[in-house]
A = this chain, B = another copy of it.
Amino acid sequence: MTPEFSSKSLYDDLVKFGHIIPVGVPGIFGRGAIFEDILTRFEAAVGRLAASDHATKVHFPPCINRQILQKSLYIDSFPQLSGTVFSFTGNDAAHRELSSRLKDDKPWGDLQTMTDCCLTPAACYPVYPTFTGTLPTDGALVDVQNWVFRHEPSDEPTRMQAFRVHEYVRLGTTDVVVAWRDLWLQRGLDILLSLGLAVKAEVATDPFFGRGGRMLAANQREQKLKFEVVCPVISAEKPTALCSFNYHQDKFGTIFNIKTSTGETADTACLGFGLERIVMALLKTHGMDPGSWPKPVREVLWT
């Protein structure tokens, strides 16, 4: 039997079974209890896989210091995806104007002021500046899970504006960082294959903005700096990235002045599991009721 793929029918099924709860904005929705349970169990399975690595666990809010995204060139490279937080800083008179516009359903965005916060665009971004200075001899390894934001409203259920990514981040010498990335590329494939997902790894690129961005993407592809583990979820021809591996060379080491113990600029790499996408891939592949999933899949998650 050939599985059939359709963005709309997956969305409708997820809603029908209470796995996602529409809120009226594309790419933003609530998650039901079973959806959350699968997500939590997948994270626990990844945690067991990574336990012997003894990564330092941290957790950051969905907001990030705007200066970090300016300094790291995120805003410049991905302005179309970034979310900046604005708020009202006016007086009573300005508030009367705001009230009046809200009442009359008139635009009121110009009454808002940019704050010092952006929405976190990737789970690893808050990590790098915390390592400004010299790393220990064996570098550093961080385990982080955050909500991230991408401004790309879409009815396609796997293309969300807000979602959670569980990342591991490695900082150190080139040899250490590249070997670690390769180890996790295999681990990522292994754990997703053990869950019965039809995944494969492929070279990928980031969605850099505009004409200039196409050159950055071509360079990234040529140097094989980004890999993704992809799986058919809403399309057989265009599989969905479930897991993403980025080798940044010394980009963040240079920007945030991170040094190895021997004084070289540190390399960094990260890998992220797109948690909601993995849950959706499981529900699409094995059915909307996890109680009826194949026994080997259940054994990985319900240990």
Report which A residues bind B (CB closer than 8 A). Answer: 21, 23-25, 28-33, 36, 56-68, 70, 75-76, 79-90, 92, 95, 98-99, 102, 107-109, 112-117, 119, 126, 129-130, 147, 149, 151, 153, 161-163, 209-211
Bound-state Cα–Cα, A254 to B209, Å = 44
Bound-state Cα–Cα, A116 to B153, Å = 9
Contacts of A59 in B (CB 8 A): 30-31, 36
Cβ-defined contact, A151 with B58, below 8 A: no
Contact of A23 among B29, B60, B87 (CB under 8 A): B60
Nearest 4 A/B pairs, CB to CB: A61-B162, A79-B88, A109-B114, A87-B151
| Given A58-B31, A76-B102, A83-B117: A23 and B64 interface contact (C-beta under 8 Å) | yes
Contact of A80 among B28, B87, B107, B130 (CB under 8 A): B87
Contacts of A211 in B (CB 8 A): 92
Cβ-defined contact, A98 with B79, below 8 A: yes
Cβ-defined contact, A58 with B30, below 8 A: yes
- 23 of the cross-chain contacts (CB-CB < 8 Å) are A23-B68, A23-B126, A23-B130, A24-B68, A25-B65, A28-B117, A29-B61, A30-B58, A30-B130, A31-B59, A62-B62, A62-B119, A63-B161, A76-B98, A79-B90, A80-B88, A85-B85, A85-B86, A85-B149, A86-B86, A86-B114, A92-B210, A117-B161
Contacts of A79 in B (CB 8 A): 87-88, 90, 95, 98
For residue A41, give the distance in angstroms from its CB to the closest CB of chain B: 15
Main secondary structure of the interface of A (DSSP, over half): mixed
Contacts of A76 in B (CB 8 A): 98-99, 102
For residue A100, give the distance in angstroms from its CB to the closest CB of chain B: 10
Bound-state Cα–Cα, A76 to B102, Å = 7
Bound-state Cα–Cα, A70 to B24, Å = 13
Number of copies: 2
Q: Which of A81, A84, A92, A99 has the largest number of chain B CB atoms within 10 A? A: A84
Cβ-defined contact, A87 with B87, below 8 A: no
Contact of A162 among B29, B63, B83, B98 (CB under 8 A): B63
Cβ-defined contact, B62 with A36, below 8 A: no
Bound-state Cα–Cα, A90 to B80, Å = 8
For residue A238, give the distance in angstroms from its CB to the closest CB of chain B: 24
For residue A160, give the distance in angstroms from its CB to the closest CB of chain B: 8
Contacts of A112 in B (CB 8 A): 84, 86, 114
Cβ-defined contact, A84 with B85, below 8 A: yes
For residue A167, give the distance in angstroms from its CB to the closest CB of chain B: 13
Bound-state Cα–Cα, A161 to B210, Å = 33
